[in-house]
Every structure is written in C-alpha cells, then in structure tokens.
C-alpha cells in the first residue's frame, strides 16, 4: 500500500464538522467488523495513549446502545456511550456519542445529551482497498476546537488497526 494511502486525512467542514478519510488494505466486511465486533475492537481500539479498553458493549442495530469504558494505568476510567442511529452492514453505521468522566455516578440507562456529537462511518470498496469516511458533527465550533486532538489521535490508532487487519487477512 502506498504511504499516502495510509495517511488519515482530516478536513474541517463548516464550523462544526470534521471529515476524516483513511484507506485500509483489507476487504470492506473485515474493516467493518473491526469497527463493530467487540472481540476485534478490543485488539486495536485502545483509546488515549496509556489507556486500555476495559469494557465494551455493542448492540449493533438502530436504537441499540453501545458503551466503551477505557482505563488508564492508575485505574481512572472514562466512558464513551450512545445509541446507534443508522446501521447498514457492512456499509455504514452512525451514532451519537456522549462522554462519562465520572464512572462512579455513570448511569448507562440515563438520558443522552441532546447536544451530543453525531458521527457516521462509511466503508466503500476501491479495488483491493477499503475507504473509511468518518464524519463527526460537534454541537458547536467550540466543542470541535476542544475535541480536534482526539480526531488527530486516530492517526496512531489506525496504524494499530492496520496491523490487526494484516494479521486477520493472512
């Protein structure tokens, strides 16, 4: 795969959106599975540097809930949770995204933030490659500015996913 194809390209769209695109050298179904199946997600989705994915629940259907709990080496936890808004296997999924920084009071059955981030990931086949297009719509320009570092962190996370895809592709 050419080096430029493995680069995560990030584009700011309007005041609230970020569009990230990235090619993977693997079939679309396998890439989709790595983004949606807990047993595969655990192998590459680590969160911020020094964190691990401690708990994952993924009810992949429209209206289904998801919960990812990350923990650092000191035991501090952070949760990412929401609902799936659209699911077209293996083409696309969309969800809202909320954050829980105090897991001791976190209630997964509680209401989600009406101003939550909304994101979609679309997977398209281009020859032997799969193009992922990740569109993130933040509640405001200020939220986008505060969260843009997390989008940039995906560059390193995608390299870990590349290794898993190569292993699974044989």
Domains of the chain with CATH codes:
3-169 (3.30.530.20)
Residues 35-90: pLDDT tens digits? 999 999 999 998 777 888 999 999 999 999 999 999 999 988 989 999 999 999 99
Q: Residue 44 — φ and ψ, nearest 5°?
A: -140, -25
- Cα–Cα distance, 113 to 101 (Å, whole number): 14
Helix or strand (DSSP H, E) at 38: helix 38-41
Dihedrals φ, ψ of 131, to 5°?
Answer: -95, 125
Q: Which of 6-10, 109-113, 124-128 has the highest mean pLDDT?
A: 124-128
Query: Tell me: the pLDDT tens digits for 133-162?
Result: 999 999 999 989 988 887 778 888 999 999
Per the structure block, which two tokens stand in for 32? 């989709």
Q: What is the pTM of this model?
A: 0.91
What would the mean pLDDT of 89-103 be, rounded to a whole number? 92
Query: What pLDDT sits at residue 99?
Result: 86
Measured in degrees and rounded to the nearest 5, phi and psi for residue 83 equal -125, 150
Give the pLDDT confidence score for residue 4 in this predicted structure: 67
**Contact by Cβ (8 Å): 93, 87:** yes
Distance CA 41, CA 57 (A): 11
- As a whole number of angstroms, the distance between CA 91 and CA 65 comes to 19
């Amino acid at each position: 795969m050419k080096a430029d194809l493995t680069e995560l390209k990030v584009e700011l769209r309007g005041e609230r959106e970020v569009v990230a695109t990235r090619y993977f050298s693997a079939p679309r179904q396998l890439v989709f599975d790595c983004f949606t199946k807990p047993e595969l997600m655990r192998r590459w989705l680590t969160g911020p540097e020094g964190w691990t994915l401690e708990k994952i629940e993924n009810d992949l259907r429209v209206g289904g809930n998801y919960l990812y709990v990350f923990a650092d080496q000191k035991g501090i936890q952070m949760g990412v949770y929401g609902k799936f808004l659209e699911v077209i296997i293996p083409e696309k999924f969309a969800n809202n995204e909320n954050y829980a920084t105090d897991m001791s009071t976190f209630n997964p059955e509680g209401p989600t933030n009406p101003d939550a981030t909304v994101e979609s990931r679309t997977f398209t086949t281009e020859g032997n490659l799969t193009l992922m297009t990740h569109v993130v719509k933040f509640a405001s320009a200020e939220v986008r500015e505060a969260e843009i570092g997390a989008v940039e962190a995906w560059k390193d996370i995608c390299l870990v996913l590349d290794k898993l895809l190569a292993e699974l592709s044989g």
